[in-house]
Amino acid sequence: MTKSKTSLFALGFFTAAAVFIIISFVSPYWLVADGKLRNPKFQKIGLWEVCFNGFEDVHHWYDTVFTGCWWIFEEEYYIIHDILLPGFFIATQFFFTITLCCVLISIFLTTLFFKKDADDDNYLTLLVTLGTVLVIGGFSGLISVITFGARGDGRDWMPNWDHNDLGWAYAFGVIGIFFLFPAGILFLIEARVHKYKRLHEMQSREPSSYTMQERKLAYASGHTDI
């Protein structure tokens, strides 16, 4: 069926947001060495992967040297968990994961959106749900990137902090999150437009012909004469 321009713009913003956020989520380029050091002990880190080059336990409790790229929760990393997983980074992982979950839920909801006709009783509920989920994902992601941006390249985390920069995957995350907001808001606007369109149509019909969903909509809008 033909969709309105508002919903098509919303879908466009959401598609872009989903691509940027998914790539950001899986990429180990949130914080990267700037390449000015010959042999930096830290190379790059993402939400779930970190790359070292001869990094040693700063407490000197163990003689282990970490080299290569590993999953951030690898068992061997337990001796440096206090360094590798500070509170701000765990918060970043948590809130960005919520954002990704909202994106995945929204992908499912958009498939329903394409299948449902505007006359469907659940169409309005679908639009409101989709818009709300996207806005929630946007706020959660905003907390995540602000937290990481404020602390990620600080001097109290990775070695050679003055040679570490926020990476392109972090930038992708920021862009994706800011695309979520117009996507969610446009779906909510479309829901509002659809709601008043339905009410206008109902006013020109006999109350006895209302469906149950329309009766609920009329009651919620203050039309109690049905």
Q: How many CB atoms lie within 10 A of CB 187?
A: 31
Q: Tell me, yes or no, whether 100 lies in a domain.
A: yes
Token representation of residue 155: 């001097």
Q: Tell me, letter by letter, the H, E, C secondary structure of the chain.
A: CCCCHHHHHHHHHHHHHHHHHHHHHHCCCCEEECCCCCCCCEEEECCCEEEEEEEECCCCCCCCEEEEEEECCCHHHHHHHHHHCCHHHHHHHHHHHHHHHHHHHHHHHHHHHHHCCCCCCCHHHHHHHHHHHHHHHHHHHHHHHHHHHHHCCCCCCCCCHHHEEECHHHHHHHHHHHHHHHHHHHHHHHHHHHHHHHHHHHHCCCHHHCCHHHHHHHHHCCCCCC
Contact by Cβ (8 Å): 184, 138: yes
Question: Taking Cα atoms as reference points, which of 74, 186, 172, 108 lies closest to residue 64?
Answer: 74
| pLDDT > 70 fraction of the chain, expressed in percent and rounded | 83
How many structural domains does the chain have? Answer: 1
* Mean pLDDT for the chain overall: 84
Residue 36 lies in a domain: yes
Domain of 159: which CATH number?
Answer: 1.20.140.150
Cβ neighbours of 96 (radius 10 Å): 26
The reported pLDDT for the residue numbered 226 is 47
The pTM assigned to this predicted structure is 0.82
Answer yes or no: is pLDDT of 7 > 80: yes
Residue 66 resides in a domain = yes
Work out the average pLDDT over 176-194: 92
Q: Is residue 216 part of a domain?
A: no
For residue 215, what are the CA distances in angstroms to 6, 110, 208? 26, 26, 10
pLDDT at site 156: 82
Task: Answer yes or no: is 207 within a domain.
Answer: no
Is there a domain that residue 177 lies in?
yes
Q: Which residues 6+ apart lie within 8 Å of 203 measured at CB?
A: none
Strands 31-33 and 65-71: unpaired
CA distance 135 to 99: 10
Domain span holding position 175 = 5-195
Judge whether 15 lies within some domain.
yes
Within a domain: residue 215? Answer: no
Looking at residue 144, its pLDDT comes to 97
Tokens at 221, concatenated: 């809008």
- Residue 223 pLDDT > 70: no
Supply the pLDDT for residue 61.
73
Span 140-147, average pLDDT:
96
